[in-house]
Chain A
């Protein structure tokens, strides 16, 4: 057991070294100097307080989506639909802001509550299809991503369209979450999402209903024998995961972008899967991994500007890290061999 723990720690260092080595080769492949690329990366994430805040702005939706995905993955509900659920939250936020004539504070609160409910309901569709009919949630959640984007597209061309403009987008929304640091885009959502991560972790670790969720992920058969209602808990985890992803959408509309259109999510829902996987499906670990992944994305964008390295390098590096992380026992067997 001790050996295993030690192996895990060494494997983290190995993964870091291999990842750095691969990035070095990739940057050489582009034909720019490694130091130039690195300084571009550094400037992008730590160059000024604005850059730091941009990392945190990116981190917020990733964290919210990954909290939900972690809960879903705990019951083996492989929710790939966070992106679609995020759009549902964004649609709800836009509708509330456009059609509910209420003071800002009420608009914000109602948008969060309704967003959570509708996102949860949207995620219940694949949840019910899985638990009642046994249809793969992987496929249904992906189909629902395309459908949610389609619905967004239809709405911004019809009832939610900005009539004064020509483009398919909603009018600018005035209601906004408070900005916590002046002159940046950093809104209250980041604090709320960090708090939520800790709350959900506490719920999973310290409450009975949270224990059921974890137990199902460990061993479905044992849980069923112990009298845990499997289907009900899968539905709960599906609903929660959709709800959290939808919150990310609400914050994107009312905190950052203030206009609904197709493309508000830069694949947050998909990237959040990587965040959750690297966090071993633990919401509290998601805080750090989402920060890391957000920094990687923001940094690589700046690396593209400064050194001409395509920003898709971020996705590639994430893929490498996740594969090494998931397969580390097969790829580094020498770390786990029992010494006789």
Chain B
């Protein structure tokens, strides 16, 4: 029983990792007042570019790097249309999802053809931390994961410090809550928002790299399959707090890991009953998280200096 629970939690962490990466990026983006529903597009492009580069060069580091760049490009494009173009941010994010899905599917088919053999790439191996991995339960759950998971723990701590303990974090929040006041206080609203977009692209790209370079080792059409939206659930549920987002992603991860277990357990029920579980959990959990909803006041509204 303990072995089962341990393995489910370990799997939940692996499922939660990309959601948390992307979620923290989105949280920073939203704190600045820009909402990007197109997390899926960032992850998808990160996943594809990472895979492509890693497949061609056999260099994982180079693959991750390229994935980050592609994520940043997509996120900056969203930022440009939202901040400069003052377009509806939700709609643009949505459109970016279509665009990225089309682009990655097209380039994948052009680059690798439609052979029956799935093209693959190297994936990162698990690193067991000596001594710590001997701790019962925790050793397997936390200290025998791949480099991305360790990077995730670092990102959670760092982003927490940046958001709540640095002056840039305060500018970030003020730009999202009251851009006019922030502008009056001498904070460059646009620069802060663009920087938040870059961070979102970076972390979203990393989430994408994780999918292809750590979890799967291959790419296929629509590989994210709605994970970007799941990350958005984690953002709302975690109230845009890095640690909260991780815990929220873990809840989704546990639901998903459990349903995979149940599917393979040989219970004579249609498998869809189990595959629906994470989506139900997401909706129900959202319903219980609505008390004291603290959206940044300027979320989704472009800043105009001369507007009244």
B-contacting residues, A154-193, CB 8 Å: 154, 157-158
Residues of chain B within 8 A (CB-CB) of A313 are 102, 106
Contact pick for A316, options B80, B99, B290, CB 8 Å: B99
For the complex, give the distance between the alpha carbons of A135 and B103 in Å.
31
For the complex, give the distance between the alpha carbons of A320 and B109 in Å.
19
Contact between A319 and B102, CB atoms less than 8 A apart: yes
Interface string of B259-294 (1 = CB under 8 A from A): 000000000001111011001101100110010010
Contact pick for A312, options B85, B86, B102, CB 8 Å: B102
Residues of B contacting A: mostly: helix
Assuming the A-B contacts A153-B272, A326-B88, A330-B80, are A136 and B236 also in contact, with contact meaning beta carbons closer than 8 angstroms in the complex?
A: yes
* Closest CB in chain B relative to A179 CB, distance in Å: 32
Chain A interface, number of residues (Cβ within 8 angstroms): 46
Contact between B85 and A158, CB atoms less than 8 A apart: no
* Closest CB in chain B relative to A334 CB, distance in Å: 14
For the complex, give the distance between the alpha carbons of A314 and B109 in Å.
14
* Closest CB in chain A relative to B229 CB, distance in Å: 5
Residues of A contacting B: mostly: helix
Assuming the A-B contacts A134-B293, A312-B109, A329-B85, are A140 and B283 also in contact, with contact meaning beta carbons closer than 8 angstroms in the complex?
A: yes
For the complex, give the distance between the alpha carbons of A134 and B86 in Å.
24
Task: Identify which of A13-21, A107-115, A141-149, A201-209 touches chain B.
Answer: A141-149
The answer to the question of B105 belonging to the interface, with a C-beta cut-off of 8 Å to chain A, is: yes
Contact between A312 and B105, CB atoms less than 8 A apart: yes
Residues of chain A within 8 A (CB-CB) of B286 are 129, 135, 139-140
Contact between B100 and A319, CB atoms less than 8 A apart: yes
Task: Identify which of A1-9, A57-65, A270-278 touches chain B.
Answer: A270-278
The answer to the question of B28 belonging to the interface, with a C-beta cut-off of 8 Å to chain A, is: no
For the complex, give the distance between the alpha carbons of A274 and B102 in Å.
13
Interface string of B67-106 (1 = CB under 8 A from A): 0000000000000110011111011101110111111011
Residues of chain B within 8 A (CB-CB) of A196 are none
Contact between B91 and A277, CB atoms less than 8 A apart: yes
Which residues of B are interface residues toward A (Cβ below 8 A)? 37, 80-81, 84-88, 90-92, 94-96, 98-103, 105-106, 109-110, 221, 226, 229, 232-233, 236, 270-273, 275-276, 279-280, 282-283, 286-287, 290, 293
A-B contacts, 29 of them at CB < 8 A, read: A129-B286, A134-B290, A136-B232, A142-B229, A143-B279, A144-B279, A146-B275, A146-B276, A146-B279, A149-B272, A157-B272, A270-B98, A312-B101, A312-B105, A312-B106, A313-B106, A316-B105, A318-B102, A319-B96, A322-B95, A322-B98, A323-B92, A323-B99, A326-B95, A327-B87, A327-B92, A329-B85, A330-B80, A331-B81
